[in-house]
Amino acid sequence: MHHTTDNRPALLLAMGPGIADRLLTERHRTRLAALARTDPYLVADDLAAPPAPVAAALAEARILLTCWGAPPLTADVLDAAPRLRAVVHAAGSVKHHITDACWERGIAVTSAAAANALPVAEYTLAAILFAGKEVLRSARRYAELRTAPEWLSETDRTGNYRRTVGLIGASRIGRRVIELLRPFDFEVLLYDPYVSGTEAASLGVEQVSLDALCSRSSVVSVHAPQLPETHRMLGARQLALMPTGATLVNTARGSLVDEPALLAELLSGRLHAVLDVTDPELPPSESPLYDLPNVLLTPHIAGSLGNELHRMADRALDEVERFAAGVPFADPVIPAALHHSA
């Protein structure tokens, strides 16, 4: 009688209801089953009081594959997962489910934050280019006139040639935006207290103070993490420094901007904004943001959506393959870095 040894690591999917069906195609599930011992259709959304099949899979799992809505990995959950060695997160931030207990037990963690950064940076690039071309104003003016405007007299300030763009935060997204801006004729300023002038120069940007960035930039784009020290970092004083007609782009978190101060600037018509995030996340139904002609408000769509989720799944399965092969993760989460990252 011949015995075969299955060396594939045991894996359990853990994420919010319905997420797995959007994240994983049949191609992903087939690849996952080849890489790990798993039921690619068994998904845990509760690990504190799991049903019997999930409890059994958790007890054997060496890897958890997580995504949005993953349940917190508390000490009690980890006690029920004695073989667990790694968490592969098929999304960005791990702060919602990775606890101190994970680090204390030496569990390796990786995330697909780099993959999720790409669509956010693409959205930002589009917002910057459209801001320079005054697309919102031009479209509204065209709809009002229903005939050709006096383009030469009405577009003196329009255009992207040698515009100054200010980026707040050299995060993964901020750095990708820098890359995407390189083919264009922009001067790019950067404010990030964790980046040296030498590193900024190597990125091809000018390191400046936050006040200088606001006062010099036609477009200010926010890419800093949500931390206690970044709460309302763009306040009334910084917004007042922005030139008349400048555009604020926020794809980070609404709490980084003093929204009442921003609203005052927007209601006056002095500034424009492209806001994918607000504070609160869902503006109240009476908020002027929905109707202001100088605001493009979108419902947190800059990050991975639709088929972009499959990019995150691909990155995550690449990391599962590395773990199965005994190779270090390509994109590990470093605990010490979490205090100044998303």
- Give me the chain's average pLDDT, please: 95
- Is the pLDDT assigned to residue 161 strictly greater than 80? yes
Greatest CA separation for the chain: 88
pLDDT for res 289: 98
Active site residues: 253, 281, 300
Dist CA 110 CA 307 (whole Å): 21
For the ranges 1-5, 116-120, 151-155, the lowest mean pLDDT is seen at: 1-5
User: What share of the chain has pLDDT > 90, as a percent?
Assistant: 89
User: Which tokens belong to 310?
Assistant: 């499959």
Residue range 261-272, pLDDT digits in tens: 999 999 999 999
Dist CA 270 CA 303 (whole Å): 28
Q: 254-259 contacts: CB < 8 A, separation 24 or more? A: 254/278, 254/279, 254/280, 254/281, 255/226, 255/230, 255/231, 255/279, 256/168, 256/222, 256/224, 256/226, 256/230, 256/231, 256/232, 257/222, 257/232, 257/233, 258/232, 258/234
Read off the pLDDT of each residue in 167-176 and give the average, rounded to a whole number: 97
Q: Which of 55, 69, 57 shows the shortest CA–CA distance to 23?
A: 69
pLDDT for res 277: 98
Dist CA 218 CA 132 (whole Å): 8
Q: 271-274 contacts: CB < 8 A, separation 24 or more? A: 271/239, 271/242, 271/244, 271/245, 271/246, 271/247, 272/131, 272/136, 272/245, 272/246, 272/247, 272/248, 273/247, 273/248, 273/249, 274/127, 274/130, 274/131, 274/247, 274/248, 274/249, 274/250, 274/298
Q: Which of 242, 236, 198 shows the shortest CA–CA distance to 221?
A: 242
- Is the pLDDT assigned to residue 336 strictly greater than 90? no
Residue range 211-236, pLDDT digits in tens: 999 999 999 999 999 999 999 999 99
Read off the pLDDT of each residue in 282-297 and give the average, rounded to a whole number: 97
- Is the pLDDT assigned to residue 154 strictly greater than 90? no
- Is the pLDDT assigned to residue 45 strictly greater than 90? yes
User: Which tokens belong to 4?
Assistant: 């075969």
DSSP state of 327: P
Assess contact for 302 and 123: CB atoms under 8 A.
yes
Residue range 56-71, pLDDT digits in tens: 999 999 999 999 999 9
